[in-house]
Amino acid sequence: MAIRVSRRRFLTTAAASAGVLAMPRLSRAADRPAVSHGVQSGDIGPDSGMIWSRADRPAQMMVEVATTETFKDARKLAPVNALPESDFTAKMLIGDLPAGQDIFYRVRFRDLSHYEIVGEPVVGRFRTAPGDRRDVSFVWGGDVAGQGYGINADDGGMFTFATMRKHNPDFLLHNGDTVYADGPITAETKLPGGQVWKNTLVVPEKAKVAETLDEFRAAHKYNLLDEHVRAFNAQVPIFGQWDDHEVTNNWSLSKQLPASYKERDITLLAARGARAFHEMYPVRVNPYEPGRVYRTLNYGPHLDVFMLDERSYRGANGPNLQEKYGPDAYFVGPEQLAWLKRALTESRATWKVIASDMPISIVVEDDAVNHKGSEAIAQGDGPPRGRELEIADLLRFIKVAGIRNTVWLTADVHYTAANYYNPDKAQFQDFEPFWEFVSGPFHAGTFGPGAMDNTFGPEVRYVKAPGPDKQNLPPSAGMQFFGHVKIEGATGQMTVTLRDRADTALWSTVLDPKMG
């Protein structure tokens, strides 16, 4: 479905677009291919970055890039086709850029059959990673349009994105649940106490769980109908990873699909969900594994980000109480674990941020109703078992290799928390202390707090959650959260702040880097 949205953009003037790409004079804007869902950038490095857009019909994506918003001396790039096979989406890697520079890009679409017919431009910007030790700022979190909470204009739409944009971060670290493919968006969602949440914007494809490729695509396109999301995407690059709801709740190879699904093959659903995710997000394409999510993103001398994929290589959800490591205990899997060890060893950045789509020690059950099985890493109190064996091995490796300044950032559980891992209080003690910070949801139901597993000695230094008697709170309750990180260029100090959608600073800490 091609959904037409207003052509809002945070930067553009008539002068900026005049005379750059010649356009014929046509009587109607509908005669020209249009940008249908805004623009995005992502996976920014010191000399390059990905950009993304979508046309409303088969077209060619025309891109210009400049270092000033006037687009003086703009560089025109070779066009990229936006075809029905990719739902008219197109991605492009822009290279040969200066480090630490604001980059402005302009996207138009050209008709495939009539090259003289070119649509209106939409402008975006990003900042390349620094080559020197300048300040770095970014936000993180996850969980968008879950539990039936969609776009409600009466509540301000997906307002957390507007709040995050005010901080002018260098990028967003999106920890997953970028969509809820398994979560229908209907006109109304009933709340406890007889109240009603009204979705003022609905589309037919989101009235049911996603099963076809087009329905998975529609879940992503729905979120892009929100004006705050589009404005954010045009200004802030995204480092994206996926979790379960890009396919269905708690999916693994053992997933038993509920009756709402006519398609019963979980591997087929996962393949469709993965394809839609890669089509709709500006994730760099790995030529050796085009669908790969795990990767290293270098953002200057002070920061490397290690994006994990805790879905594609995991063993089946279940009890996961094995005492010996094997396929049933895989969470990131041996190959990804070996990559992470290698990448951490090779990193020369002050801070090594490990982006995990699921927390380490918060217990997440596969079957929360019957309290059965494991969905996340934690297996319950005691020594490492099952999936915890990978974490124990990694933490021991980090200690032995002398890798300094690792911080874990995550989402998934729909509340915010700061967890300090203390080996003196752990069942497994062969590791150096570290922090894990949890944030989200951006725009979904609020839950928690979850039970904590003592295997790795987590100390909950801060938590904000509804409590056991007030679960699945709507966004209008205000308990929508994001995290904000600032790294000071001169000292390398990292300040981590947990915030809500009203931009209230709920809790903050300053971390001094360990040198040597």
Euclidean distance between CA atoms 143 and 269, whole angstroms: 20
pLDDT tens string, the chain, 516 residues long: the values are 333 333 333 233 223 333 333 444 444 667 899 999 999 999 999 999 999 999 999 999 999 999 999 999 899 999 999 999 999 999 999 999 999 999 999 999 999 999 899 999 999 999 999 999 999 999 999 999 999 999 999 999 999 999 999 999 999 999 999 999 999 999 998 887 788 999 999 999 999 999 999 999 999 999 999 999 999 999 999 999 999 999 999 999 999 999 999 999 999 999 999 999 999 999 999 888 889 999 999 999 999 999 999 999 999 999 989 999 999 999 999 999 999 999 999 999 999 999 999 999 999 999 877 778 899 999 999 999 999 999 999 999 999 999 999 999 999 999 999 999 999 999 999 999 999 999 999 999 999 999 999 999 999 999 999 988 899 999 999 999 999 999 999 999 999 999 999 999 999 999 999 986
Which residue bears the tokens 């879905």?
311
292 C-beta neighbours (distance < 10 Å), count = 18
Which domains does the chain carry?
14-127 (2.60.40.380), 136-196+287-511 (3.60.21.70)
In this prediction, residue 192 carries a pLDDT of: 78
Please state the φ and ψ torsions of residue 161, each to the nearest 5 degrees: -65, -35
CB 190 within 8 A of CB 236: no
Say what angle helices 333-346 and 388-400 make with each other, to 10 degrees.
20
Of the candidates 435, 325, 313, the one whose C-alpha atom is nearest the C-alpha of residue 387 is 325
In this prediction, residue 358 carries a pLDDT of: 97
Q: Sign (positive/negative) of CA torsion 489, 493, 496, 497? A: negative
In this prediction, residue 29 carries a pLDDT of: 65
DSSP 257-271: --TT-S---HHHHHH
In this prediction, residue 28 carries a pLDDT of: 65
CB 466 within 8 A of CB 473: yes
Residue 308, C-beta contacts closer than 8 angstroms, at least 6 positions apart: 241, 294, 332, 336, 340, 354, 355, 356, 357
| E strands, 329-415, in order | 351-355, 365-367, 372-374, 406-410
User: Degrees (nearest 5) of the Cα angle 327, 333, 337?
Assistant: 140
Q: At 464, is the secondary structure helix, strand, or coil?
A: strand
Euclidean distance between CA atoms 414 and 449, whole angstroms: 9
Q: At 343, is the secondary structure helix, strand, or coil?
A: helix
Residue 113 DSSP code: S
User: Could you tell me the pTM of the whole model?
Assistant: 0.93
Euclidean distance between CA atoms 177 and 225, whole angstroms: 17
Q: In the structure encoding, which two tokens stand for residue 498, read together?
A: 């947990």
